[in-house]
Amino acid sequence: MQIHSYPSAAAEERIKKISSRAFDFSKKDLDYVARILKTVRQEGDRALLAYTRKFDAPGMKAAAMRCKPSEINAARKQVEKPVLQAIHRAARQIESFHTQQRRRSWIQTERPGTMLGQLISPVGAVGIYVPGGQGGRTPLVSSVLMGAIPAHVAGVERIVLVTPPTESGEINPCLLMAAKRAGVKEIYKVGGPWSIAALAYGTETIPKVDVIVGPGNQYVTLAKKLLFGTVGIDMIAGPSEILVIADATADPRFVAADLLSQAEHDVMSSSVLITDSPDIAKSVADEIKRQVAELPRHQIAQQSLKSYGAIFTTDSLNTAAKLSNRLAPEHLELQVDDPFELLGSIRNAGAVFLGHYTPEPVGDYIAGPNHVLPTAGTARFSSALSVDNFIKKTSLIHYSEKAFRREAADIVRLADIEGLTAHARSVTVRLKH
């Protein structure tokens, strides 16, 4: 990784490249996914089976698309006890954190004769998309927990999970156990953009939902983008990213390992270090060279670091925080002597990890906060997946006749300014009554 002094022209050029990375949806991709969505909308289960047989499980039958209770019960015997314990621990802690996000309906009666309020209610149905993970060999159990548990806490009655089946038409038992623990009762063996279409439009087997959440490849992401408005979605997530602010107290081995934890995800991932210590900058660069060679996915990590990795040296931690706020990273680690003091300078980040022993994977799996986070600088205006993604807020308004007459003239004035005569008349007709 190259070391850049910040501010400088070279640093700005690197920042520009890092900030510009995102899924690049070509017209070819757009047309491809749009055709899939249209086909599923028109043909329903027939299209789902055709796509599933072509891309995932050649022998899939319509009756087997929905996972049976017997399959879930059988999965329990296939998962080792320590793995089950880890799933349950993560689920408890995710549930505990998201319970704090619950909202209550409220009513206000400050002005005589009026009642104003907000009704908080959950959406009716939610779809959770979970990627297949190398043909089911690496099940993304954390994605199940992070998507389904907040929906369950919000009070959603129907939570649906879709995931690509293995070639033999099965779902990894660890994923099934995570789904059961998270309260998911409907599991379908379909993946890809066709499963997103099924959730949005509904088919003979899969009734439609109101909100779709969960990570996916560029085609799944594009399907969610195209269907936004037909259904609600969590966000348009881009490639993963990490930014570490480190001072002289940081351990170069820790910093390098954390940067590589995101670099191994994808060649589009971004890993950035900002430090006020030139010695730390050099030591981390050397440590990355050593550690990356040991990774099974070293080619992906090396390409990611070459394209979107960087080390910036600054004159102070305050300058480092300002640069971090510009980049608005998905994951921000503060590996400094007093992370809580520096926290006051942080404005834009999906999640902040404080201290030398709080690496990003703690948040990915078990700490409790959601790991579905804004990427590509969108932390400037958006937030992590939460209970709020699964609720609706309905305004409540009541006026007595006396309260109505007290404010009617101002309503008419404002309607007249906007040239909306019928709006004004709906008020004046009551004044003449």
DSSP H helices, 245-332, are: 252-263, 278-292, 298-308, 317-327
Region label for 95, one of left (φ > 0), alpha (ψ between -120 and 50) or beta (otherwise): alpha
Q: Considering 152, 331, 360, 371, which one is annotated as catalytic?
A: 331
Q: Can 298 be counted among the known catalytic residues?
A: no
DSSP 49-111: HHHHHHHT-TT--GGGSBPPHHHHHHHHTTS-HHHHHHHHHHHHHHHHHHHTT----EEE--S
> What are φ and ψ of residue 170, in 5° steps?
-115, 175
> Residue 120 has which token pair?
């908080």
Q: Is 273 helix (H, G, I), strand (E, B) or coil?
A: strand
> What are φ and ψ of residue 141, in 5° steps?
-65, -35
Q: Can 333 be counted among the known catalytic residues?
A: no
Q: Considering 241, 264, 287, 330, which one is annotated as catalytic?
A: 330
Residue 33 near residue 51 (C-beta atoms within 8 A): no
Dist. CA 126–CA 214, nearest whole Å: 11
What is the β-pairing status of strands 158-162 and 106-108? unpaired
DSSP 8-state code for residue 46: H
Dist. CA 355–CA 341, nearest whole Å: 11
Annotated catalytic sites, by residue?
330-331
